[in-house]
Chain A
Amino acid sequence: MNVLEVKNLRKCFDEHLVLDDLSLTVPDHTATVLIGASGSGKSTLLRCVNLLDSIDDGSIFLDGREISDPGIDVDEVRRSLGMVFQSFNLFPHMSVLDNITLAPIRVHKIAKTQARDEAMTLLRRFDLADKADQFPDRLSGGQQQRVAIIRSIAVKPRLLLLDEITSSLDPVLVNEVLSIVRDLKTEGMAMVLATHEMGFATQVADEVCFLKNGKIIERGPASQVISAPQHVDTQDFLQRVHEAGRL
């Protein structure tokens, strides 16, 4: 069973084709990792799947249902999708606990006490229980991003979309965030993630897709795409990542 199916997706901003006839399949309980230079279309693909950006051609299916239909209830679709952003985007006027329980209470109509209990369970699991009543600006970047991940999984999504979630973090904080993702992967959460962390990609990816100019140039298991890339563009990209000391 496929959680996500993207077929022949095209997206352009003005005259610029950001996603070019892109197709992608994400089976349940698997992680698909998108790699590629900035501007290759990774973020746009995630935003299109979450219906934050409109698409210009092709179709997107979530659990076999087409969500790229213009008449679709976008709020209902997003209820089964979780998204984590590069810049955390926590709500600064709410405590950590309120950030996490907002959607369960308002969108999923779960009782307040139950939503709080569930949120506390998640916070305890990821060592953040003592931060429950803090406001986001009192937290480190790594803690903020962990809260953002908890916020996105508190609504028990079918698919998690992670958009370069460690790109704005201090190198020493990256691992505490990635270890949560590893945990979720072990639990069988289906996810699509865009990342520049090749080591991490190798650990969690069931499939790695290398994007360039809105196209998937090469795809396959990490052992192939990252360790033994076939395509000259992939080799070139990984070479540059290697030179930057990020591999």
Chain B
Amino acid sequence: MNNASPTRDDSGRASLWTPSPREVQRQVARKAINRKKILIATTSSVLVLGALASLIVTSPGWQVVKETFFDWSYGSEVLGAISKGLVVNVRLTIIASILIGIFAMTLALLRTSRSAALTPFRFLATAYVDIFRGIPLLLVILLIGFGVPALRIDGLTNSVLILGTAAVVLTYSAYVAEVLRSGILSIHPSQRAAARSLGLTSSQTMRHVVLPQAVKRVVPPLLNDLVALLKDTGLVSILGVTDAVRAAQIASSRTFNYTPYVIAAILFLLITIPLTRYTDRVLAKSIKRQNAQGSA
């Protein structure tokens, strides 16, 4: 907003003193300006959204689309099956995010360490991140899901659910490792110097001084990745896992009605929108905190 005068709480100040006639005048003027702004915003919203809606509703194919995509009676019929599928997505997301957290932290620590003994691991971690950040997730799922069972190693699972999860974990660990690493590198060297000057070893410095600050700083991007992860778990449906996407696919192929896809999309949104709003709030808070620190 390019509001020239900062927002103020006129009521709170009124008790401290009696506003001068000039201030009363200003308040009246500000209210008039605000009313005008609200009017403009409402009119433009109604016009734009109305135009969009009428464009869709008056299109030649709308009647057919309405029947095949928005058949709510069929939708409520398949809601149970799709919700059950969504439970699979949610469970997979929870398990995967725990594994990703551990694996990604290991990768990030290896990449930022300077220890001579860890040199080969540092090299491997870098190569790993480069490779898995560069391959589409769908390809990794297909390669692991069909490749690992083909090896026919005894004792190795053939469960598509586990293999699908593994593929998601492998790819997302590379993303999350980079987020964590950027957090670690963003901590000012003076913090490290202060810790080392107290006699803390480099690993103690990392554990007690650098990491707690780094992780806190990257919480917003990590929450972003969590939303993306939940959506991407839908990709394991390609292996035949009966998640929400697969359940919708089954339901729609039975009747050639696409409403189940819309239902699945709405169910995903019911989780991702609150999560995204929450992420925005955390981000706003962290920006506010950093700005406060800067001015202190």
Contacts and interface: CB of A to CB of B under 8 A. Distances in A.
A40 interface: no
Interface residues of A, number: 26
A87 B292 CA distance: 16
- How many chain B residues sit at the interface, stated as a range, is 20 to 34
A134 to B, nearest CB: 13
Contacts of B216: 93
Nearest to A91: B209
A215 interface: no
Contacts of A81: 197
Contacts of B196: 52, 74-75, 78
Given A52-B193, A89-B193, A93-B213, A107 B293 contact: no
Contacts of A75: 196, 199-201
A153 to B, nearest CB: 11
B190 interface: yes
A9 interface: no
B197 A52 contact: yes
A164 B72 CA distance: 73
Contacts of A106: 200, 204, 208
Contacts of B209: 91
B199 A103 contact: yes
A67 interface: no
Contacts of A152: 197-198
Contacts of A92: 213, 293
Interface in B155-203: 190-191, 193-201
A42 interface: no
Contact of B194 (A89, A107, A137): A89
B115 to A, nearest CB: 14
A87 B193 CA distance: 12
B212 interface: yes
B296 interface: yes
Contacts of B198: 78, 102-103, 107, 151-152, 155
Interface string A112-135: 000000000000000000000000
A85 interface: yes
Given A52-B197, A85-B193, A107-B204, 14 more contacts: A75-B201, A78-B197, A79-B199, A82-B197, A85-B194, A87-B190, A89-B191, A91-B194, A93-B216, A102-B208, A103-B198, A103-B199, A106-B200, A137-B296
Interface of A: 50, 52, 74-76, 78-79, 81-83, 85, 87, 89-93, 102-103, 106-108, 137, 151-152, 155
Q: Which 10 A-B pairs have the closest CB atoms?
A: A89-B194, A103-B198, A83-B197, A79-B199, A107-B199, A78-B199, A89-B190, A93-B212, A75-B201, A93-B213
